[in-house]
């Protein structure tokens, strides 16, 4: 599993590569995918919180997520609050469980 510390190092590296004027908020998107991201919501919350605390003054931050939507009802309030854009995958393995 990907640790928050590794994510923080990558985010910091990427943010330092941006060379925009200080009065311009540049767009920066983080995408969560691979496996089922909603199985690790604590990690997602850490990343979102870190971005908001550290980079919201210099970047226009947005989030995307690819999910099979099985856990969507459990986390919908958080996803809506943070305006995380969703791509719903139709995983044949998941649908075989339902008649």
Q: Which CATH architecture has domain 4-95?
A: 3-Layer(aba) Sandwich (3.40)
Question: Any idea where the domains of the chain sit in the sequence?
Answer: 4-95
Instruction: Identify which has the larger pLDDT, 2 or 13.
Output: 13
- pLDDT tops 60 at residue 11: yes
DSSP for residue 34: S
Whether 92 contacts 71, CB under 8 Å: no
Q: Which of 99, 95, 83 is nearest to 30 (CA)?
A: 83
Q: Which residues pair with 88 in a beta bridge?
A: 67
Task: Give per-residue pLDDT as tens, 60-82.
Answer: 999 999 999 999 999 999 999 99
CA atoms within 13 A of residue 85's CA, in its CB half-sphere: 7
Task: Provide the whole-model pTM.
Answer: 0.85
CA angle, residues 7, 10, 14, in degrees to nearest 5: 135
């Amino acid at each position: 599993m990907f640790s928050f510390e590794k994510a923080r190092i990558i985010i910091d590296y990427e943010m330092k590569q941006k060379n925009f004027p200080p009065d311009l908020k540049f767009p920066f998107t983080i995408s969560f995918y691979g496996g089922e991201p909603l199985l690790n919501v604590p990690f997602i919350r850490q990343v979102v919180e870190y971005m908001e605390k550290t980079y919201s003054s210099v970047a226009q931050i947005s989030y995307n997520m690819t999910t099979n939507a099985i856990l969507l009802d459990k986390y919908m309030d958080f996803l809506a609050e943070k305006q995380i854009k969703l791509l719903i995958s139709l995983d044949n393995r998941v649908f075989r469980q339902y008649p």
